[in-house]
Structure 1
Amino acid sequence: MGKRDKVDGERLAFIPPQMPTLVEQPPEDDGWVHEAKLDGYRTQIIIDKGGVRLYSKNGRDWTTKYWPIALAVDLPCRAAILDGEVIVSGERGTPDSVALEAAVWNEPSELVFVAFDLLHLDGRNLTPLPLLLRKHALRQLVEPGLGKIQYSDHFERGALANFGVIEKTGFGGIISKRSDSPYRSGLSKTWLKTEYS
């Protein structure tokens, strides 16, 4: 186990998130995967002997605000750290950023967690592994469906072609990630963000 995995009483510690660098166009060369930009609240779910906790991107414990998600966490593992975003789905099934803030305070039952990375699993630090291996492990952990905990799919080629399709569906842009990259906290050149104007 690495330094990040030091556990106090078998409790896992929050890992500061990896953040994408803003660019004008998504990369078109091989070796990148692309996900829809969700425009939600970046959130980390930690599951360990102490139970389930949810943290904001700044490391604040938001478990009580996100209690319906915490109660819905029932994954086939003893311990895990999932990186993702809390969203509210709009009428077209895409994230509704306007409704999100209201839901946090007034209708938390509408909140959904969309997982896009897995940083720890049952005693193993996954951050040094390539992104696609982490996403494969995450896909095994989070079953497909429209529950409170969802998996964020990705596509591997033709980002610009998919950029237009994603824009029409109401997403805010594209997050492009190097498929072979480890997870590193802080601003990253291996995660790139392209936004719609």
Structure 2
Amino acid sequence: MPVALAQLVPTLPVGPGWWYEMKLDGHRTVLWRDADAVRLQTRSGRLVTTVWMDLALAGMQLPPGTVLDGEAVVYIGGRVDFGAAQSRAASTPARARLLAARHPAAFAAWDILAHPVLGDVRPRPYLERRALLLDVLADVRPPIQAVPATDDPETALLWYETLHDQGIEGLVAKHASSSYRPSRVWKKVRHAETVDAEVVGYTGPPARPRHVVVRLPDGRRAMSQSLTAPVAAQVAAHLASAGSGRRARTDAGEQYVTAAEGLTVEVLAGTTRHAVVSVTRVR
């Protein structure tokens, strides 16, 4: 299911109709409660149920026909730990079970895309979907919970300024009248200065890529620095399902193999002025 996205902005939009949600530092995940099972997909559409089986089991509390959008997160020491979520996402199913036993995951739900009675609710306004989300989750126990939301910008900014150390990486602003669409319909502010970039290629073996080539917001194609092991594993999973590419060169002349569309990574904004970029995570 294509997901809605958020545009990075320097300041929160304010005025009538704006609502604000905490942005937790985890992995974007869509949770489907089917007739007899639960499945989870990434932002790019890849199924990841096997590495989040604790969330799949928890999702059986939901009534069949429910589809939720949210963030798979891992708490360590009372704070959201992105590195732990990254490790889980890059694990084999066997290792994911070991990690889950040590640090169980939680699912922070911020939207409902399908309702067990009403069906597809994506065309409905945000405020109506928020009410439906809270209603569906009323009898659901943790680790599935709704993300806190407020229509008071001062409260939202207080979250932003005081909860960063607990793993709250920013805020997402949504207008009360907005429908759920696969485009940048939301606004976000973040502590880290990062931008999203599309992966267009890679170097090294597809099972163990060393670098990715990204298309930056200004259109340039640039090669990343060496990938960390968790990021490389997630890129490899995308490459395995996409098939082989062709030879190409970056704007700087470096050779790489092209990759299929559909994978987005986050890169440090300060590095994008140069020929090499630093990938912080797979989005």
Work out whether residues 27 and 86 of structure 2, in 8 Å CA contact, stay in contact via their aligned partners in 1.
Answer: no
Equivalent in the alignment of 1:72: 58
Structure 2 Cα separation of the partners of residues 168 and 98 of structure 1? 14
1:31–1:168 Cα change, 3 Å: farther
Shift of 1:146: 6.7
**1:45 has 2:31 as partner:** yes
Query: Between Structure 1 and Structure 2, how many residues are aligned?
Result: 180
Work out whether residues 25 and 169 of structure 2, in 8 Å CA contact, stay in contact via their aligned partners in 1.
Answer: yes
Work out whether residues 33 and 62 of structure 2, in 8 Å CA contact, stay in contact via their aligned partners in 1.
Answer: no
Q: How does the TM-score come out when normalised to structure 1? A: 0.83
Equivalent in the alignment of 1:108: 100
- Among 164, 188, 207, which residue is 1:167 paired with? 164
- Among 142, 167, 172, which residue is 1:147 paired with? 142
Structure 1 Cα separation of the partners of residues 175 and 15 of structure 2? 10
RMSD: 2.0
Equivalent in the alignment of 1:35: 21
- Among 72, 77, 82, which residue is 1:97 paired with? 82
Q: How does the TM-score come out when normalised to structure 2? A: 0.59
Work out whether residues 112 and 148 of structure 1, in 8 Å CA contact, stay in contact via their aligned partners in 2.
Answer: yes
**1:193 has 2:188 as partner:** yes
- Among 22, 28, 34, which residue is 2:8 paired with? 22
Shift of 1:126: 0.4
Please tell me the residue identity of whatever aligns with 2:111. Answer: D
Work out the percentage of aligned pairs sharing the same amino acid.
29
In the TM superposition, what whole-angstrom CA distance separates every residue of 1:109-157 from its partner, at most 9, and x where no partner exists? 4211111100111252101111111111111111478722111110111
Structure 2 Cα separation of the partners of residues 169 and 30 of structure 1? 29
1:169–1:76 Cα change, 3 Å: closer
Structure 2 Cα separation of the partners of residues 146 and 102 of structure 1? 25
Q: Is 158-167 or 79-88 further displaced after alignment? A: 158-167
Please tell me the residue identity of whatever aligns with 1:120. Answer: A
Structure 1 Cα separation of the partners of residues 114 and 131 of structure 2? 13
Which protein has greater RCO, CA pairs closer than 8 Å, 6+ apart?
1
Shift of 1:165: 3.0
Structure 2 Cα separation of the partners of residues 171 and 161 of structure 1? 11
Please tell me the residue identity of whatever aligns with 1:82. Answer: L
Shift of 1:72: 1.5
Work out whether residues 24 and 73 of structure 2, in 8 Å CA contact, stay in contact via their aligned partners in 1.
Answer: yes
Work out whether residues 22 and 159 of structure 2, in 8 Å CA contact, stay in contact via their aligned partners in 1.
Answer: no
1:168–1:64 Cα change, 3 Å: closer
In the TM superposition, what whole-angstrom CA distance separates every residue of 1:47-91 from its partner, at most 9, and x where no partner exists? 122521100111111111111111111335221110001001132
Gaps of 5+ in 2: 193-283
Gaps of 5+ in 1: 1-14
Structure 1 Cα separation of the partners of residues 139 and 87 of structure 2? 27
Shift of 1:32: 0.9
Work out whether residues 26 and 176 of structure 1, in 8 Å CA contact, stay in contact via their aligned partners in 2.
Answer: yes
Please tell me the residue identity of whatever aligns with 1:53. Answer: R
Structure 2 Cα separation of the partners of residues 119 and 135 of structure 1? 10
Larger Rg: 2
Secondary structure, counterpart of 2:76 in structure 1: coil
1:127–1:145 Cα change, 3 Å: closer
**1:132 has 2:127 as partner:** yes
